[in-house]
Amino acid sequence: MSASSPFIAPVALHTPSHSGVGDLLSYACDRPLPPGTLVRVPLGNREVLGVVWDSDAATGELPDGATLRAIGGVLEGVAPLDLPWRRLVAFTARYYQRALGEVALAALPPQLRDLKPEQLARRLRRPALTADDSGNAIENIALTAEQESARAQIVSNPGPFLLFGSTGSGKTEVYLRCVQEMLEADPTAQALVMVPEINLTPQLEERFVSRFAPRFGAGAVVSLHSGMTNPQRLKSWLAAHSGTARIVLGTRMAVFASLPGLKLIVVDEEHDPSYKQQEGARYSARDLAIWRGREQGAKVLLGSATPSLESWHASRPPTPEDPEGGRYLRLHMPSRIGAGALARVRRVDMNQQPRRAVFSAPLLQAITERVARGEQSMVLLNRRGYAPVLHCVDCGWKSDCPHCSAHQVFHKTDRTLRCHHCGFTVRVPHHCPTCGSPDIHAMGRGTEQLEEQLAALLRNVQRPDGNAARVARIDADTTKAKGALEAQLAQVHAGEVDVLVGTQMIAKGHDFRRITLVAAVQPDGALFSSDFRAPERLFALLMQAAGRAGRDAAYMAAQGTPCEMWVQTFHPQHAVYEALRRHDYEAFAAQQLKEREEAAMPPFAYQALVRADARTQEAAQGFLQAATAAAHAAALPGLEAVTLFPPVPLTIQRVANVERAQMLMESPSRAALQRFLAAWQPILQTTRHNREHKGLIRWLVDVDPLTI
């Protein structure tokens, strides 16, 4: 290191996971750089973005003969990332067993990772919208007694809070009011509001912009989600980082937004599995929001009509047997705005219906009556495509994917067979590929088939204006094009659709004003799943779907008929449907938590998965078995309180010609599990490089997994 570069900067980089490089690399610089500074540094033959990190060794002498490569440039004009942000990244990396640099760089906008200092300087010179206090007063909607009680509790208590409000109870208005009061009380304060899916951000953004832009300026509200272009994401990130943006709306990635003035975090639909990242660092944005709020002194508000059982348990009130209760404060809003009634649940016993019937006669009659009155209906089936599989009657051939242990789904619209796991697509054969028989049939049903059959069944049904009934479908296949989802939702809101068919995309968060009937046609599959969380997810989905009906109390009063939720099931007396009929989440949660406690399942225990991907199933399981044996041989810390289960194949064990196996770890102590995982990481790394495990492609750790 030359005399002209007397300083050493420790830099976090996104280095390859298999490289064995440590969390921080040292570079030479000619001046001390504060932690959090963004820099361009050489790495191999490339120049990459890095973040100067905290270290006690900012200066010092290198061993004789050692040299350091110099930092390539500093991204001037972007303030250093503050200590709370760096602590959040460090905690995430540590807890979810990932490299520090991987988490830090993934949390930054992609374009920031690609821009050189001079390019960024030009970008920063462009005029940007600013959040100015225009002084216009906000016209507040009068709160109900329940909303006012919740708002007052949030103001006067530290939290975290669980806002348990039925669908249509006005949770969003509580969020808006809390954000407003916080922004008005502190001119530097910022709020983070998260939703589980991209398709829910436009309508939320519309409400926040219309409420706050007149008061705080056009740039006060920005969005952050993966559906935005890279320049859009960079613009939003810079606005939040500089404090110009007062409110950030986003999906799970927004939990890492740099918000130096953060004072409030809202996690809407907190139960939703979409808050759990399923690639790379498998973090839970909801759980990180709780941690970040505590660390940064920000209040955290979780909201849901069907809270996750973890959050419900964490918000339990004190009792004589449990005097401390949970860590969260539970706020209850059971009533719908405008005295609207919750949907009446009607169960249809499909054992009493004709075999192979898709729509029972009573449900079809109910939909017909709604169309004739000008009302809208929604039909839910959580499986896209036309049919899950094609089948040859003569030889038994099925449309299996050649690269995965799964079927290729039949899509009738474009006459393709498509694997929803690896994406492999082929044209539908005219004859059986095995025996040549032309007698090939679709087995099972998807939303595409449902849309087609409903359109045929309703072809003679007329709307009040004399036109034929109109059926539309919203799922991942119909919303691929940019702007397609917004256009389709606009048609529903405008009353141009009489029956909406779709997957769970349409069941969450949408404020449809004229839907008076919701039907779930094939929900039974989740009742007998091997995943212990399946009943919880099904109940939440059906409750959320039921909440789409009857949201406009004035409209329902004018129609004079109750809103309804129809469930077609072969198990009408199942406890899930019994609780749904009564809209009794509390009873459902109590029963589920009792079962979980008896079985020592989360939230009464803590879990992690280690997954191995390999060329053969034997190689995948062999790696996991060897790593387990090494853990026992080393008597790793925490192991005495951790149960290691044998490795097993995943349910879909082969995807894209890669075999997948996993093993589960469980412990009554979160701390013991974390100690064990931290100590096990080097052993997993060493085992991975053992010549005996040449077939191994990759391995990963999933802490607090949602699917097993």
User: In which band, very low, low, confident or very high, does the pLDDT at 123 lie, cut at 50, 70 and 90?
Assistant: confident
Average pLDDT, integer, range 160-189: 94
Compute the mean pLDDT over every residue in the chain, rounded to the nearest whole number: 89
pLDDT digits (tens, 9 = 90+) for 207-262: 899 999 998 988 999 999 988 999 999 999 999 999 999 999 999 999 999 999 99
Question: In what order do the strands lie in the sheet containing 161-165?
Answer: 221-224, 247-250, 190-194, 262-268, 299-304, 161-165, 329-333
How large is the average pLDDT for residues 128-152? 78
Predicted local confidence at residue 2, as pLDDT: 45
Task: Select from 3.20.20.105, 3.40.605.10, 3.30.70.100, 1.10.287.70 the CATH code of 606-703.
Answer: 3.30.70.100
Annotation: binding site for Zn(2+): 392, 395, 401, 404, 419, 422, 432, 435
Spatial distance between the Cα atoms of 284 and 288, rounded to a whole number of angstroms: 6
Cis peptide before 603 (omega within 30 of 0): yes
> Looking at the predicted structure, is the pLDDT value of residue 319 above 50?
yes
Task: Give the C-alpha separation, 281 to 99, whole Å.
Answer: 9
pLDDT in tens, 295-315: 999 999 999 999 999 999 999
Q: What is the pLDDT of residues 433-470, one digit of tens each?
A: 999 999 888 887 788 888 999 999 999 999 999 999 99
CATH fold for domain 340-384+446-598: Rossmann fold (3.40.50)
49 has pLDDT over 70? yes
In this predicted structure, the answer to whether residue 133 has a pLDDT above a threshold of 60 is: no
Please report, for the chain, the start and end positions of each structural domain, with discontinuous segments joined by +: 7-125, 145-333, 340-384+446-598, 387-444, 606-703
Question: Any idea of the CA torsion for 574, 575, 577, 578, to the nearest 10 degrees?
Answer: 110
Region 474-492 average pLDDT = 84
| Beta-strand pair 658-667/606-614 | antiparallel
Mean pLDDT of all residues in 691-695: 76
Q: Is the confidence at residue 1, as pLDDT, over 50?
A: no
User: If pLDDT is split at 50, 70 and 90, which confidence band does 128 have?
Assistant: low
pLDDT tier for residue 162 given thresholds of 50, 70 and 90: very high
CATH H superfamily, domain 145-333: P-loop containing nucleotide triphosphate hydrolases (3.40.50.300)
Q: What percentage of the chain has pLDDT greater than the value 70?
A: 95
Report residue 275 as tokens: 């808050």
Q: Using CA of residue 497, residue 498, residue 501, residue 504, what is the dihedral sign?
A: positive
- Residue 487: pLDDT band by 50, 70, 90 thresholds? confident
> If DSSP states are collapsed to H, E and C, what string results for 514-583?
CEEEEEECCCHHHHHCCCCCHHHHHHHHHHHHHCCCCCCHHHHHHHCCCCEEEEEECCCCCHHHHHHHCC
**What pLDDT is attached to residue 526?**
81
| Residues 7-125, CATH architecture | 3-Layer(aba) Sandwich (3.40)
| pLDDT value of position 59 | 45
Question: CA of 437: how far to CAs of 130, 356, 393, in Å?
Answer: 67, 24, 8
User: Cα separation of 92 and 103, whole Å?
Assistant: 7
Q: Is the pLDDT of residue 509 over 50?
A: yes
Helix (H) or strand (E) run with residue 51 in it: strand 46-52
Ramachandran area for residue 415 (φ above 0: left; ψ -120 to 50: alpha; else beta):
left
- The DSSP 8-state label assigned to residue 335 in this structure reads S
**H-helix or E-strand containing 451?**
helix 447-457
* DSSP assignment of 181-236: HHHHH-TT-EEEEE-SSGGGHHHHHHHHHHHHHHHH-TTSEEEE-TTS-HHHHHHH
pLDDT at position 58: 45
d(C-alpha 39, C-alpha 84), whole Å: 19
Angle between helices 201-216 and 171-185 (to 10 degrees): 30
Q: What are phi and psi of 46, to 5 degrees?
A: -110, 165
| Percent of residues in the chain assigned helix, strand, coil, to nearest 5 | 35, 20, 40
Residues making up the annotated binding site are 392, 395, 401, 404, 419, 422, 432, 435
Query: What per-residue confidence (pLDDT) applies to 55?
Result: 74
CB 696 within 8 A of CB 660: no
pLDDT value of residue 63: 58
Q: How far apart are CA 497 and CA 489, in angstroms?
A: 10
Task: Please report, rounded to a whole number, the percentage of residues in the chain having pLDDT higher than 90.
Answer: 63
Model pTM score: 0.91
Show Cβ contacts of residue 262 under 8 Å, excluding neighbours closer than 6 positions. Answer: 84, 189, 190, 191, 192, 292, 296, 298
Query: Are domains 7-125 and 145-333 of this chain identical in fold?
Result: no
Segment 654-665, tens digit of pLDDT: 999 999 999 999
Residue in 497, 502, 454 with CA at minimum distance from that of residue 475: 502
Give me the residue label for tokens 């404060």: 329
Residue 10: C-alpha distances to residues 71, 113, 356, 383 (Å): 11, 18, 66, 49
Helix (H) or strand (E) holding 427: strand 425-427
pLDDT at 38: 96
